[in-house]
Amino acid sequence: MDTKTPVVNIRQGKLLEPFFQAYVKEKYPEHIFLDELGVAEKVSLFKTEWSLYQKVFFNAIFEVSGLRSTRNVIDVFIVSATDKDMSAPLIIRSRYEPKEFVNVLMHELLHIILTDNNVTIAFGDESKTTKNHIYVFALLTYLFKEILHDERGLELEKKKSDSEKNLEYRRAWDIVEKNGYKEIISTLKIKTPRR
């Protein structure tokens, strides 16, 4: 398959810090922020851990889905705190342990890949959040089961959706379990990638 593997550039989001800290401090006044050196240490640990997965992740996703990368570089900004991780722009909290960071990064990278490939989201009656996670969770299931052979990691990912505030995520997992991740992956509809 003719696909390019993008470079995942994990770096400290120094210019983003004041905005995220102000926002988080307002919502969570007791939050204690990791200092600049602490975030830098996390970035180093994250880079080392991700280097073990990068090639495997992209090769597996491209092969199973027919998706491809439209980017040469994907920047990942690590900040001391944010209300939630996000894919556009790709910003992840520093609080994670390295393996947990890899799981979060894979989730967010799948959002980017699906968006960049203009994937048509099926399941029309579901909420936007649920629809946006069906393919992500199907592909994560494939990665954890067939590539990483990490059932525990898969269960930890599912468990993140077990609270009242995550009902739409739980619904997406339920759809993946009901329909089967292989069946869902086989329904990926690819349009012309964005340039």
Tens digits of residue pLDDT in 101-140 = 999 999 999 999 999 999 987 787 899 999 999 999 999 9
Tell me the percentage of the chain whose pLDDT exceeds 70: 95
* 41-67 pLDDT, tens digit each: 999 999 999 999 999 999 999 999 999
How high is the pLDDT of residue 2? 45
Supply the pLDDT for residue 190: 59
Bridge partners of residue 77, in order along the sequence: 11, 91
Cα–Cα distances (Å) from 144 to 22, 75, 130, 152, 158, in that order, read 36, 24, 20, 9, 11
- 100 Cβ neighbours under 8 A, 6+ residues apart: none
| Backbone CA torsion sign across 23, 29, 30, 35 | positive
Instruction: Name which of 136, 8, 118, 117 is nearest 70 in CA terms.
Output: 117
| 193 pLDDT more than 60 | no
pLDDT tens-place string over residues 80-101 = 989 889 999 999 999 999 999 9
Closest CA to 56 of 118, 146, 138: 146
Does the pLDDT of residue 189 top 70, yes or no?
no
Query: What pTM was computed for the model?
Result: 0.92
